[in-house]
Amino acid sequence: MPETVQESGAEQDSIEETAEQTADQPAVADGEVIVESDAVADGAEDDADDNEDGDDRAAGSNEDLLVKEGDIAGDYLERLLDLVDYDGDIDLDVEAGRAIVSIDGGDDLEKLVGPRGNVLEALQELTRLAVQQETGARSRLMLDVAGWRADRRQELRDLGRATAERVLGGDERVRLQPMTPFERKVVHDAVASFDGVHSESEGEDPRRRVVVFRQS
């Protein structure tokens, strides 16, 4: 996992303010900003409806929308990098029904990650809102910077598996440290691969955490 750089509060605030300046006001529907809830990000994600009638045209249309989301996000993030004078290569992809955007190759990119990825999470939300403004639909786009999210995902998978094995080995219930919605989702998925154990989230952000316990 890449070592994140601890920035001062003032510098991180400056990065986030710069990100906000690269987009206009977010899109609204019925007077409210559409923002992904914790329930959505935390293992209860409301994926797009499956196309049960097998309409290839609908599938193609959805793919086109995801490609468009990636293009919009890429333009937004390119402007951001120009404003903060950071180098980086932007890669766009579509995977598992969502647009995937990654930024790699720059010496300063870890500043866009922040401690435990908090700057990255904020930047991802701003990018989703910029996409939403253009498309009029909520975006489930995933943003990674300097490979941080990919490395963190593997760490969390290992943690989820080790915790499940610990519970199966005798511990009745294990409470993990507070995590972000992204982190909790990865742990839930890892635990779900084991029979005889179950995981839930408890508490309120920013202290919300995963609890793993044996199934009765």
Instruction: Reduce the secondary structure of 100-140 to three states and give it as a string.
Output: EEEEECCCCHHHHCCHHHHHHHHHHHHHHHHHHHHHCCCCC
> According to the model, what pLDDT value does residue 185 have?
95
**How far is Cα 88 from Cα 61, in angstroms, rounded to an integer?**
30
85 Cβ contact partners less than 8 Å away, ≥ 6 residues apart: none
Contact between 148 and 109 (Cβ < 8 Å)? no
**Contact between 83 and 75 (Cβ < 8 Å):** no
Please report how many Cα atoms fall inside a 13 Å half-sphere around the Cα of residue 30, on the Cβ side. 2
CA–CA separation, 158 vs 166, rounded Å?
12
In this prediction, residue 13 carries a pLDDT of 59
Which residue ranges of the chain lie beneath pLDDT 50? 1-8, 23-58
Query: Which tokens go with 163?
Result: 């915790």
Helix (H, G, I), strand (E, B) or coil at 94: strand
Residue 7: per-residue pLDDT: 42
Q: What is the pLDDT of residue 55?
A: 41
pTM: 0.68
Per-residue confidence (pLDDT) for residue 29, from 0 to 100: 33
pLDDT at 106: 83
Q: Give, as one character, the DSSP assignment of residue 36.
A: -
Helix, strand or coil, per DSSP, at residue 171 = coil
